[in-house]
Amino acid sequence: MTRLNSNIPTLDPSQVTAFHAKSMGWFPNYVSNNKHRFFHINQLKDVNNKEDFTLPPHRKTFFDFIYITKGSTIRTKGLNAYEFGAGNIFFLPPHQITEHTKMSPDLEGYFCHFNQAIFEHLPSNYLSENYAFFKLQANPLVHLPKEKQAIVEHILSRMTTVYNEDSPSTNKKLFSAYLISLFEEVKMHYQTDNYNSNKSCFEITERYKYLLSKNIYKFQDVASFADLLHISPNYLNKCVKKSTNKTSHDLLHEMLILEAKTLIKYSNFQIHEIANKLCNQSPSNFARFFKKHTGMTPKEYASKAN
């Protein structure tokens, strides 16, 4: 397992190449940081023969997904690990903690990442509102039946061909159309829990989750996040309650615990350093907070996780 010596890194498209090269000991020959500004796609066979493939915990400022046609892989979302193979597609929204720990030698398929800005005429929350697999706390994995796999693979193959022929910066409309077509095809086979249909509250709750994942080191109180959303803490709590049956404090505490667990499991920080860095708390107060929400102390969790 790769250990971190600093906070979990957050990558923008211009940093992806260096991150892969540092983590994997090689430098991809197909990437261009300018070309990556809005959209990138590559076949997994381009990278599956690299030794010691592992990408340590990180976040990204953009969306991505991986689709498998052969072999298997393991990827995480938060602290949940997913091993999946042919006919499965794994989606990840921005600012979610993820780690890529395995690619089988025979792995084939596609990896794609894209910026929200590629959808020039859609609202910023369109993807999370219309495609549940892009919600922060949703199941990221979708298994497709054989007939649907052929359709998805045709779309991905076409996107790869166009990408390799031209600069995505001149084809944003084409790539955005391909992506929406793909998401609509996948959406029909995604199993999701029903959520509150109040769109206004749902949008506020999703924006709150996004801000939590992006600013958890900066703010640890609901009022600060309500200020960022330009609403009152009380209204924020009502919206979160309608959409999730949880309180706004529940979601804040869940994000703090997720970040703490990730740092305990993957970083070289001592527990007292995590307490100060994440919550600005004394080790004893942090231990009480952690045990209240997990049923174990940070030291007990560290022993279990490692």
pLDDT band at 30 (very low <50, low <70, confident <90, very high): very low
Judge whether 90 lies within some domain. Answer: yes
pLDDT in tens, 235-267: 999 999 998 889 999 999 998 998 898 888 878
Position 20 pLDDT exceeds 90 = no
Give the domain extent around 182: 10-188
Tell whether 46 is covered by a domain: yes
Q: What is the largest CA-CA distance in the chain?
A: 58
Mean pLDDT calculated for residue range 128-142 = 89
Q: How many residues does the chain have?
A: 306
Residue 31 has pLDDT above 50, yes or no: no
Average pLDDT over residues 256-283: 87
127 domain residue, yes or no: yes
Q: pLDDT higher for 40 or 4? A: 40
Residue 270's contacts (CB-CB under 8 Å, 6 or more residues apart) are none
Which amino acid, one-letter code, is at 175?
Answer: F
Q: Are the CB atoms for 92 and 133 separated by under 8 Å?
A: no
Average pLDDT over residues 27-56: 66
212 and 291 inside one domain: yes
**Does the pLDDT at position 50 exceed 60?**
no
* Same structural domain, 143 and 29: yes
Number of domains in the chain: 2
Please indicate, yes or no, if residue 45 is contained in any of the structural domains. Answer: yes
Whether pLDDT at 281 is above 70? yes
Confirm whether 225 is domain-assigned. Answer: yes
Residue 74 located in a structural domain: yes
Minimum mean pLDDT range among 28-32, 88-92, 266-270: 28-32
Element containing residue 238 per DSSP (H, E): helix 233-244
Residues 37 and 149 in one domain: yes
For residue 30, give the CATH number of its domain.
2.60.120.280
pLDDT tens column, 150-176: 999 999 999 999 988 866 555 788 999
Average pLDDT over the chain, rounded to an integer: 85
For the cut 60, the answer to whether the pLDDT of residue 3 exceeds it is no
Q: Model confidence at 48, in pLDDT bands (50, 70, 90)?
A: low
d(CA 63, CA 228) in angstroms, rounded, equals 22
Of 149, 168, 188, the residue that ends a domain is 188
Average pLDDT over residues 105-125: 91
Task: Decide if 40 contacts 28 (C-beta within 8 A).
Answer: no
Query: Is 153 in a helix, a strand, or coil?
Result: helix
Q: What is the CATH number of the domain that holds 214?
A: 1.10.10.60
CB atoms within 10 A of CB 176: 19
Number of Cβ within a 10 Å radius of residue 136: 22
pLDDT interval class at 32 (50, 70, 90): very low
